[in-house]
Structures are given as structure tokens and as C-alpha cells.
Amino acid sequence: MSSTRGQQDLFDSPPPARRRWGLVPRPFLKWAGGKGQLLGDLLPLVEAAEPFSRYHEPFVGGGALFFELARQGRLGRKKAWISDANPRLIEAYKGVQQDVEAVVQLLKVHAQRHCKDYYYEVRANVPDVLVERAARIIYLNRTCFNGLFRENSKGEFNVPFGRYKNPLICDEVNLRQVAEALARAHVEEQPFESVVERAEPGDLVYFDPPYDPVSKTSSFTSYHRGGFGPECQEQLAEVCKALDRKG
């Protein structure tokens, strides 16, 4: 288990001198398995696949590669499809995409009211309006323990409060750039295998699936309550073969 100090190092607002506002857009959610530290390995693979017609990312998660490609202008006017099977995650993306200013204002309210009791109040209540749901998941993600996403069997978010000194709840500069990057993207809640129907010859498909654990306790795979077990890994292999046949 990570120490409280470890949480603070990862989640607290950095002092102004350490903020790298130029590197936007970047992931606006902290997501298990994020590839921000591996972009140096991934980008040459994308370069080797160029030119490609369209971009698909069926396990978008935090979207580190998508946002880096957008930041570098390497997607240009290409169509992009980003999707995930986690409905809460996709609600966050769609809320920012459709009305980022409303999400920003809601997050400012969350930031003003933030405390342990308020966290649990927000966690217990799921609003009906999309932008409110988006702001809720961003707030919970920024303030919960270790930035985990975990749901119980009823589909209820159940991660406890994180003890951070000064969490950055509303990163409005980045959120606006995220919205711009998403403006031309198709954002959908879909199973990963649906990419076989969408992808065409010459497209680039990037898979970043949940890890296949080496033991029952060594890895985290609960990205949503449906899980991602061995059968899903085998199905993913078949999807890759089908895409390869399409060219």
C-alpha cells in the first residue's frame, strides 16, 4: 500500500515553477496502467505506421497517447475513434467534449467545497445531467485514494477519500485543450471488439488492454466491474488477427 506521502507527491498541485502548462493537452484523469511514462517507446511505433488514414483507441483509459499525438499535431484532420467499455470514463470524456466550460465551473464548485464529508456526499449521489456526471468523476478521480477507479457489484464507485494536501481539482487550462483535441473525435462507450467493424485498411489501431496478471494478487485489472479476464485476452488476440487480415 502506498504511503500518504506517496499520494501527495503524485496528486497534489505542483508549485507554479514546476507546472508545465505548455505540455497540453495531457490526460485529465489518473488511470491505472496509464502510458505517459512510455510515450518515448510508443511514438516511434506510431511513426513507423505513418502515414495512416484514421486512428482508433478501443481502451482509451487516460488517453496518454491520443493526447500526445494531438499535442504534436500528428492526427491533423484525421478522424479518431476513442472508446472504452467503462461508462463512467466515457461520460467524463463526453462531458468535457460537449461543454467544457460547464465542467470547469462545476469543478470550481467542487474545489471550493472539497473536504472529506463533501467527498462522500458526492460519491453517494450520481446526477442525471452529463456535464455534472463528468465533473463528478473528475472530482472523485482527483481526490480519491491513489486515483483508483473501482466499483462494487451494484456499479457504485467505492474508493475511499484520499488524504492530499492540495489536490489539483480544476485544471482548466488543460481541460480546454482536451476539449479542443476531442472536438473531431468520436467518443463512444463500446466493447473493444467493435473496432473490427469500424477499422478500414490503412487505419492505425492502438490497443492498451488491462494487464494479464501473473497471479491473483500481483496485478490490478478492475478497471470496471465487468473485469477483463483470460477469456477477454483470448478474444483480443482474435480481434488483432481479424484486423491484420483486413490490412
pLDDT at 23 over 80: no
CATH code for the part of the protein at 87-171: 1.10.1020.10
pLDDT at 199 over 60: yes
113 and 210 Cβ atoms separated by less than 8 Å? no
Q: Mention the CATH class of domain 51-85+190-211+221-246.
A: alpha beta
82 and 93 Cβ atoms separated by less than 8 Å? yes
| More confidently predicted of 70 and 16 | 70
Q: Which amino acid is at 86?
A: N
Polymer length of the chain: 247
pLDDT value, residue 222: 52
Domain ranges of the chain: 51-85+190-211+221-246, 87-171
Alpha carbon 40 to its chain's center: 19
Digit-coded pLDDT (tens) for 101-116: 999 999 999 999 999 9
Question: How large is the average pLDDT for residues 155-182?
Answer: 95
pLDDT at 202 over 50: yes
pTM: 0.86
Across 36-50, 119-133, 192-206, 220-234, least confident range: 220-234
Q: How confident is the model at residue 226 (pLDDT cuts 50, 70, 90)?
A: low
pLDDT value, residue 7: 40
Rounded-to-integer distance, Cα 192 and Cα 38, Å: 22
What are the E-state strand segments in the chain? 55-57, 80-84, 185-189, 204-205
